[in-house]
């Protein structure tokens, strides 16, 4: 995984994490109800999410509520 490890318990609650990786230098992830959330992820953030999802045995949900399988390709 690129960048640093996410830092838990940050500004958005106990299950959110700031991640200092990717093209803009800082992103965030949140975990709720078994899903990992973020907005506008770049390729590096998607790769980081793959690792998080695998470790948490979680799913991925987009900002519009769409769900993604573990390989993070949109479900059709």
Each residue's pLDDT, cut to its tens digit, for the chain (76 residues) gives 445 677 676 667 778 888 887 777 778 888 888 888 888 888 888 888 888 888 888 877 777 777 776 665 555 4
In this structure, are residues 69 and 50 in contact, taking their beta carbons and an 8 Å threshold?
A: no
Q: CA of 28: how far to CAs of 38, 66, 75, 76, in Å?
A: 6, 18, 23, 26
| Sign of torsion over alpha carbons 1, 10, 41, 22 | negative
pTM for the predicted model, two decimal places: 0.64
């Amino acid at each position: 995984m690129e960048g640093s490890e996410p830092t838990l318990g940050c500004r958005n609650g106990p299950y959110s994490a700031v991640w200092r990786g990717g093209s803009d230098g800082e992103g965030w992830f949140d975990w709720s109800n078994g899903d990992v959330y973020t907005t506008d992820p770049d390729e590096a953030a998607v790769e980081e999410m793959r690792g998080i999802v695998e470790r948490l045995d979680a799913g991925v949900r987009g900002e519009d509520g769409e769900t993604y399988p573990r390989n993070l390709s949109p479900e059709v």
